[in-house]
Amino acid sequence: MGILSGKTALITGASAGIGRATALKMAEAGAKVVVSDIVVEAGEETAAMIRAAGGEAIFVRADVALADDVEALVAKAIDTYGRIDCACNNAGIEGRIAPLVDQPIDNFDRIMAVNARGTFLCMKAEIAAMLKTGGGSIVNIASVAGLIGFPGLSPYVASKHAINGMTKNAALEYGKAGIRVNSICPGGVDTRMLDSLADQATGGTRSSAQMMDPMHPIGRIGKPDEIAEAIVWLCSPAASFVTGINMPVDGGFVAQ
């Protein structure tokens, strides 16, 4: 019996990277998984990987910045599996690197729409569902950029600080209802997002690992599976007394 046996888990941004790793780890832990993303082919592939390994999974396309999409996603999860016990709100974008004065307004608006508004909309729908079934656990994916500043990334930093703030507030509001809400703050992780940031920062002259490995006291960037392990733990009964935290999983990055 896995640590999440009998549970239903919903993961956004699950077509690749941390989201896909989390969906697979949730399934390994025994959960039925609702995989969501705006990238249909890769999202379907994540769900197929779970089913091929003997698990249960469906894919639902949803843009987390759109309230109707999020409400339909949660409704589909409930229609299919009856409830949502665990949710990982992972969908996010990085946007452009530029000093604040040079940041395009539409870049700020899009990042906030996906990262901050998207997390808000997902929590709003997920918590409403969990209140009807006696509780659950939500893990929001923030960033070390939600704990400290990063020159050139003002909109991204703002969005991730917003996620960490909403996480604390929701934990306070719904703790007595049996709903735990936490966030994970990854350091550099080997994903397409980090590759995009490295390309912007170095003009494609250095890989994300070459750029970021030395910045981490552990000596390397993380792997999506390492972040997924922490997410599964926070969703599990093993973390039953943990709520309202913004948990770095960052190879010591913010300890510096």
> Which residues are catalytically annotated?
156
Residue at 32: amino acid letter = K
Residue 88 CA to residue 139 CA, distance in Å, equals: 5
CB contact set of 78 (below 8 Å; sequence gap of 6+): 84, 129
Strand partners, 222: 189
Residue 168 CA to residue 232 CA, distance in Å, equals: 19
Residue 110 CA to residue 127 CA, distance in Å, equals: 24
Beta strands in the chain (DSSP E): 8-11, 32-37, 57-61, 86-89, 136-141, 179-186, 246-249
Strand partners, 125: none
3-class state of residue 103 by DSSP: coil
Residue at 211: amino acid letter = M
Structural contact between residues 8 and 32, judged by C-beta atoms closer than 8 angstroms: yes
Residue 245 CA to residue 145 CA, distance in Å, equals: 15
Structural contact between residues 147 and 246, judged by C-beta atoms closer than 8 angstroms: yes
Residue 237 CA to residue 229 CA, distance in Å, equals: 14
